[in-house]
Amino acid sequence: MNIAPQRVVTLHYVLSDEQGQVLDDSQARAKPLEYLHGHDNIMAGLERSLTGQEPGVQLSVTLPPEEAYGERNDNLIQEVGRGAFPQDDLAPGMRFQTPGDDGPQIVTVLEVRDDSVVIDTNHPLAGHTLSYALEVLDVREATRAELAKGHPLPAGVEPSQVEDRKAP
């Protein structure tokens, strides 16, 4: 079965930056990625490259910044009050997850001042060309429950446990 919309894809990947430094490796965690194709669960450039592929295929995909996490935007660097952080011992390079307009976002501390903190809300990989080494392990039809939820269900979860029920 080939990769197409409404199918659950299981794959291993190794993510590297422009210098070849490995940033993430699903095999090192012994946990492959599982996603629902066509539901914006992964980057559009990766989905395009995977469409039509079959289990067993190995491929490399390189995404420029505009197809990955975008270009860096200096307007996303801002100064906020120290009270915005839950801890006192802040240092440059620390990262925090905060709520954002489009869901959770990662905030990186750039500078700690007496009464304020300079933060960067760009994604940590913004501005980077990313390379993926991919191995497709499995492709299967998604269940109704997975299609309704927009993502694969965790192993061991029965569709009846998550399907929406009609109101009485």
CATH of the domain at 53: 3.10.50.40
Q: Is residue 13 domain-shared with residue 45, that is, in the same domain?
A: yes
pLDDT, residue 105, reads 87
How many Å apart are CA 122 and CA 118, to the nearest integer? 13
123: tokens are 């994604």
Whether 168 is covered by a domain: the verdict is: no
Print the domain residue range for 80: 74-120
Both structure tokens of 168:
């009485």
**Terminal CA-to-CA distance of the chain, rounded, Å?**
40
Hey, what's the torsion of the CAs at 150, 128, 17, 43, to 10 degrees?
10
Helices (H), 113-166: 144-149
DSSP code for 135: E
Rounded Cα distance between 120 and 109, Å, is 6
Do 16 and 56 fall within a single domain?
A: yes
Do 18 and 96 belong together in one domain? Answer: no
User: How many domains is the chain built from?
Assistant: 2
Q: What tens-digit pLDDT sequence spans the chain (168 residues)?
A: 999 999 999 999 999 999 999 999 999 988 999 999 999 999 999 999 999 999 999 999 999 999 999 999 999 999 999 988 877 789 999 999 888 787 888 999 999 998 999 999 999 999 999 999 999 999 999 999 999 999 999 865 554 554 443 332
Same domain, 16 and 63: yes
The reply to whether 107 and 151 lie within a common domain is no
